[in-house]
Amino acid sequence: MGTLALLALLPYWFPQTQPAPLALTDSLLAPKEVPPPAKEATPVAATEEPGPGSSPVAGKGVLFPFDPNTLDAAGWQRLGLPDRTTRTLLRYREKGGRFRQAEDLRKVWGLPAGFYERVQPYIRIAESSVARPVLPPRAPSGNLPSDRHQPTVQINDADSAAWEALPGIGAILAGRIIRFRERLGGFYSVDQVAETFGLADSTFRRIRPLLVQGPENSVLKFNLNTASREQLLAHPYIRRNLANALIEYRNRHGAFQGPEDLKRVHIVTDSVLRKLTPYIRF
């Protein structure tokens, strides 16, 4: 019993010794070195040129002198003309269509806004490219009357049936001619019929001897000093830039007094003045 009591008191006489602390080595203090994240590659901006099959953006093409009657598809696309419009233009030429003057290029369906104004100074039309080929005389058919025996057509009075009776003119072309005539306010010249969209030059040459001007003063005129912007734009010979210029002149200088005042508008060329004068009054 005494021995047990002696053992129980030993911890108070001899304090327990703590184990020696471990040395704090560098490996314990320093955090593990974490490798930096991989640096992402910076994307490189695409700088590739458009491929040969891509369409140049209208207005971004290269300007150079050209003849619209002989320029090939690659040349039109180099000027910045879209593929679809290029195909339309080439089909027009394949059917016999020709550009007699620079402004005829405006007739092309789907021409981008501003394209003509950008390329107009570079248009060079050679006389040889608009020369009309001499066609051999056409023998009259036993079932169809020859052209010389067909009745003439008064261009400002003819209805759709009269136009369709002409050789090479179907319902679609007849409708286009009449709509173009209505937008103009009437034809003051037989040659204006040739400006109808889709009418091949060869077809026009064939029907021209059968076309008659009709009575004089059959053209509707509009007042240049009172016409609104919308009324000006409704006329086929007045484009947006010309309508804006005409209104700006009226606002700055007052009413137009005559054709001479039109010459003071900087974008009115002699060709535009000649085509537009029969339709305006002051």
Interval 15-29: pLDDT, tens:
554 544 444 434 334
What is the predicted pLDDT for the residue at 137? 45
Residue 58 pLDDT level (bands cut at 50, 70, 90):
very low
CATH assignment of the domain containing 239: 1.10.150.320
Query: Is 62 inside a domain boundary?
Result: no
Query: Is 10 inside a domain boundary?
Result: no
Query: Is 57 inside a domain boundary?
Result: no
* Closest alpha carbon to 147 in 119, 166, 170: 166
What is the predicted pLDDT for the residue at 48? 34
Query: Is 40 inside a domain boundary?
Result: no
Query: Is 95 inside a domain boundary?
Result: yes
> % helix / strand / coil in the chain, to the nearest 5?
45, 5, 50
How many Å separate Cα 81 from the centre of its chain? 7
Three-class SS of residue 51? coil
| Mean of pLDDT values over 78-104 | 85
* Closest alpha carbon to 190 in 174, 208, 173, 165: 208
* Closest alpha carbon to 203 in 232, 234, 163: 163
> Same domain, yes or no, for 235 and 199?
no
Query: Is 274 inside a domain boundary?
Result: yes
Q: Which domain holds residue 124?
A: 73-129
Res 74 pLDDT > 70: yes
pTM here is 0.50
